[in-house]
Structure 1
Amino acid sequence: MTQQDRERIAAGLADGLSYGEIARRLGRPSSTITRELARNGGPGGYRPQQAHQATTRRARRGTPAPPRAAGSPGGAMEAELVELAVRTGLPRMCARVHIDLLLSEDGRRTAAELAHRLQISPATVSVAVKFLVELGFVRRERDPRRRRDIYVVDDDAWYHSIVTGRRQTLETVQASKAAAETYGQDSPVRQRLTKAAEFLERVSLDMIESADRWRNLLT
């Protein structure tokens, strides 16, 4: 991201534009704007010149930004995002890993970087990432030169997480239908399971169709 891009972000914030509208005007994904602001003071404390200088320094060092203190603007926003993720049902450690990846400069971290930033063990990182990969939130890439895994969250992850979650729900639907068949035609249990299965199936298929229709917004 250039200095000019950051100036345009600041101007968009001053004009009261949404993150999505700012991203559209810059020709970038909304998640890029979210990460940029979260790493550089939040919407109320964003300073384009300081943000550009800080990013340049990090790029020169080739190291991830240090963990943010909870009382700092960026740290407070990160903590709030973690709490939101937890309230949606994500285990806290998985939420911390996911949000840290989401707010990273390029959406990529190694296990060692995650362990250092979050002050957790590599084993804990492994468990959290495995869970996130299964949900479609994160994907794993292999660095052949250093023989290490790199964990990635990108814009397409939102699509994959929706599709993965709905496919898992459809597996539950099939199991519910099979269970319903074991009860008599007039059984209240059969009727209850059948109704639930039909509802979940229709909603899941609608969500997958909607995700396919709007996937282009992530490109």
Structure 2
Amino acid sequence: MNADWASRPERAASEPEGKGWGRMPGGRLTHDERRRIATGLADGLGYAEIARHLDRPTSTVSREVARNGGHGGYRADHAQHATGRRARRSGTVVPREEPAAFDEHGRDAEAVRAYAEEFAALMVATGLPRMAARVLARLVTTDSGSLTASELVAGLRVSPASVSKAVGYLEGLDVVRRERDAGRRRERYVIDDDVWLRSWLTSARTNAMWAETARRGAETLDAATPAGARLDHMRQFFTGLSDDMAGGTTAEVFADVLTVLAALVQAGTPLAVDPLAAALGWPRDRVADALRDAERHPDIAGPTALARLAPDTYAVVAAPDRLTAEQRAALGA
């Protein structure tokens, strides 16, 4: 943190002699205070620390930033003009700040909401659709890690259809799951604590699949030709990326796991290691390693899972967290 942030020259010039730096907490933010907010953000200060310097509630600062570009886009002059425009459009004087509301843990509820929007903005910048990002951010910043559709609709002030579409998108990414409220008909949308690990493994698996596809292309087109060499460079890139993400030689591992799982699906019946090795034309140790890796990293298998039926016999089944008990019963499982 910049140590002299609270004692910059403009401080003395902007406040009456004998008064503290901050103004009454309920008053309107001044242009100078907005400049200080922008300076504090640039110096890496949090909302609470900026608010202490200004003698303002944290919610005042978080709300101000959220309304005017967010953490990375806040500009004091723009915020000042925007506030004036809003006041002129409404034809009323900008109201005094309401007292901050706190949750059961003593946290400023408005600051938490503002952070959720900031978190969502970051995910939007990385390519996630805006509504999906807002839903995910709300789930991440909720202590229970779960919310109902009606709670999301009320909290985000959007339509049920928007929430439904966003949840469907997040389910496709395997970062959100549904579960039925005990004794009630409504569903809850849940984010698990290991969601980031699963997302990381999914990304590593995707890169490994790109590497494997590029490898086959380089073999087909001949790596000595321009097109084949291009695919071989692609293989090297995605292999390195996948290895860096998972901390090992994952491209080959993932490819072998997926091949063995596909073989079990194709067989449609449990198989032991030796018949699998004979069918694939692989050494026995390679098949055994792939089966061991599939057990060690179940997320590689996606909606399926490897089941060990005997010390040396395996089958592919539905992943246990993909179907509810009611769905399994309806399918005769």
TM band (smaller chain): 0.5 to 0.7
- Cα distance in 2, alignment partners of residues 130 and 102 from structure 1: 17
SS class of match (2:221): coil
Matched, 1:172 2:210: yes
CA 1:42/1:201 → structure 2, altered by over 3 Å: closer, same or farther?
Answer: same
Aligned amino acid, residue 182 of structure 1: T
SS class of match (2:104): helix
CA 1:160/1:56 → structure 2, altered by over 3 Å: closer, same or farther?
Answer: same
Aligned amino acid, residue 174 of structure 1: E
* Equivalent of 2:181 in 138, 143, 157: 143
Matched, 1:55 2:104: yes
Give unpaired runs (5+ residues) of structure 1: 1-40, 58-67, 213-219
Partner residue in 2 for 1:118: 156
- Cα distance in 1, alignment partners of residues 179 and 209 from structure 2: 27
Query: Structure 1 or 2: larger helix share?
Result: 1
Please tell me whether the aligned partners of residues 112 and 141 of structure 2 are also in contact (alpha carbons under 8 angstroms). Answer: no
- Cα distance in 1, alignment partners of residues 101 and 156 from structure 2: 24
Aligned residues: 155
SS class of match (1:185): coil
Please tell me whether the aligned partners of residues 111 and 149 of structure 1 are also in contact (alpha carbons under 8 angstroms). Answer: yes
Partner residue in 2 for 1:28: none
Give unpaired runs (5+ residues) of structure 2: 1-45, 50-57, 60-98, 249-295, 297-333
Deviation, 1:179, is: 3.0
Larger radius of gyration: 2
CA-to-aligned-CA distance 1:15-61 (integer Å, 9 cap, x gap): xxxxxxxxxxxxxxxxxxxxxxxxxx954439xxx99963279xxxx
Aligned amino acid, residue 229 of structure 2: Q
Deviation, 1:95, is: 0.7
Please tell me whether the aligned partners of residues 101 and 107 of structure 1 are also in contact (alpha carbons under 8 angstroms). Answer: yes
Matched, 1:154 2:189: no
- Cα distance in 2, alignment partners of residues 146 and 42 from structure 1: 39
Partner residue in 2 for 1:78: 116
| Residues 4-83 of structure 1: pairs in structure 2 closer than 5 A | 43-44=48-49, 45=58, 54-55=103-104, 72-83=110-121
Please tell me whether the aligned partners of residues 167 and 176 of structure 2 are also in contact (alpha carbons under 8 angstroms). Answer: yes
Aligned amino acid, residue 98 of structure 1: L
Please tell me whether the aligned partners of residues 101 and 109 of structure 1 are also in contact (alpha carbons under 8 angstroms). Answer: yes
